[in-house]
Amino acid sequence: MGQPLIIRREGHVEHVVLNRPDVRNAFNPALIEALRVWAVSAAASTDARAAVLSGAGKAFCAGGDLAAMSATVDASRDENLEDAARMAAMFEALDHLPIPLVGRVHGAALGGGLGLASVCDIVVAADDAVFGFTEVKLGIVPSVISPYALAKIGRSAARELFLTGARFDAARAREIGLVHAVVPEERLDETVNRYVSEILSAGPGAVRQAKALIRRVAGRPAGEVSVFTAETLADRRVSREGQEGMRAFLEKRQASWVVR
Ligand code: COA
């Protein structure tokens, strides 16, 4: 049995590959812990500027490991709670990653696999990939992933898709905001790389701050956040990075942080 998660660093980019291809990268306790530990360490890295999450083999991720989950019938309620809490902690750590997380989805993203897509900032999907919040078909519920999935697709799509467990295609996933680009599978890497290049040509601190800003501002009335948003702009434009970015534009040169 190999490592459940393969992590590779290329320049400023962390590449994270779910590596349980025989079970379509279903996540068991070892993979859940490896993902959480990676998210915590990537969050602490000062020179990481983007991360790409993908799956080895035929599919991105088939969600929770159904064999492991069904075996929990023999565990106590406390043990079951701890197990579910570890999964929740993994999603929370990924969702709190301060750098952009780009999801590369091929084959299938089902159940918790769609939860993983939901905590990505940008998702690129193969046009033949299949999606679904299939939990109710299995007699379970998309519970731990619900905050992240709901934040992406809203109540209306959730009421349809959580309640039916129906599978849907990449075009629909894009329509409801789970996916940002749909391309033939052979163009997945190129499209992911284009997003990563865009990120690497932006100010590293500005990108992190933009991500934090979304978390802080989303769902709140403008009046409630106006002091915060004004302060953020005021501080940013006099920051070293803000000055470098604006001067580079005016001097018709590349900013110092651009990676080509
Ligand atoms: N947990 C554990 N094992 C899983 C799994 C899961 N979520 N999803 C797939 N597997 C296993 C299968 O049991 C099979 O094992 P086997 O080779 O011992 O028979 C192996 O992975 C390959 O699955 P298979 O269905 O033959 O592959 P496929 O490429 O034809 O289809 C999927 C891939 C992902 C579309 C399909 O496996 C599927 O629908 N899985 C269920 C996903 C789901 O509903 N997840 C929600 C969990 S909350």
Average pLDDT score, the chain: 97
Contacts of residue 86, defined as CB under 8 A and 6 or more positions apart, other chains included, come to 29, 32, 33, 36
Whether 135 is catalytic: yes
Query: CB count, 10 Å around CB of 136?
Result: 15
Contacts of residue 47, defined as CB under 8 A and 6 or more positions apart, other chains included, come to 12
Q: What is residue 107's predicted lDDT score, i.e. its pLDDT?
A: 98
Above 70 in pLDDT, residue 223? yes
CA–CA separation, 181 and 189 (whole Å): 12
Q: What is residue 109's predicted lDDT score, i.e. its pLDDT?
A: 98
| Local confidence band at 130 (pLDDT 50, 70, 90 cut-offs) | very high
Q: Evaluate whether 19 touches 4 at the Cβ level (below 8 Å).
A: yes
- Name the residue of 22, 24, 60, 61 to mutate for ligand 1: max ligand atoms within 8 A of Cβ: 24
Which residue puts its alpha carbon closest to atom 44 of ligand 1? 134
Above 70 in pLDDT, residue 209? yes
Q: State mean pLDDT over 85-95.
A: 98
User: Cα of 92 to ligand 1 centre, how many Å?
Assistant: 25
Above 90 in pLDDT, residue 260? no
| Local confidence band at 91 (pLDDT 50, 70, 90 cut-offs) | very high
Ligand 1 binding site (Cβ under 6 Å of any ligand atom)? 23-24, 26, 58-59, 62-67, 108, 110-112, 134-135
Above 80 in pLDDT, residue 1? no
Q: State mean pLDDT over 55-81.
A: 94
Give the three-state DSSP class for 129: coil
Q: What is residue 2's predicted lDDT score, i.e. its pLDDT?
A: 86
Query: CB count, 10 Å around CB of 186?
Result: 8
Which residue puts its alpha carbon closest to atom 1 of ligand 1? 65
Q: What is residue 38's predicted lDDT score, i.e. its pLDDT?
A: 98
Instruction: Write the pLDDT tens digit of every residue in 161-199.
Output: 999 999 999 999 999 999 999 999 999 999 999 999 999
| Local confidence band at 54 (pLDDT 50, 70, 90 cut-offs) | very high
CB neighbour class for 172 (10 Å; exposed up to 12, middle 13-18, buried from 19): middle
User: Cα of 24 to ligand 1 centre, how many Å?
Assistant: 6
Q: State mean pLDDT over 47-66.
A: 97
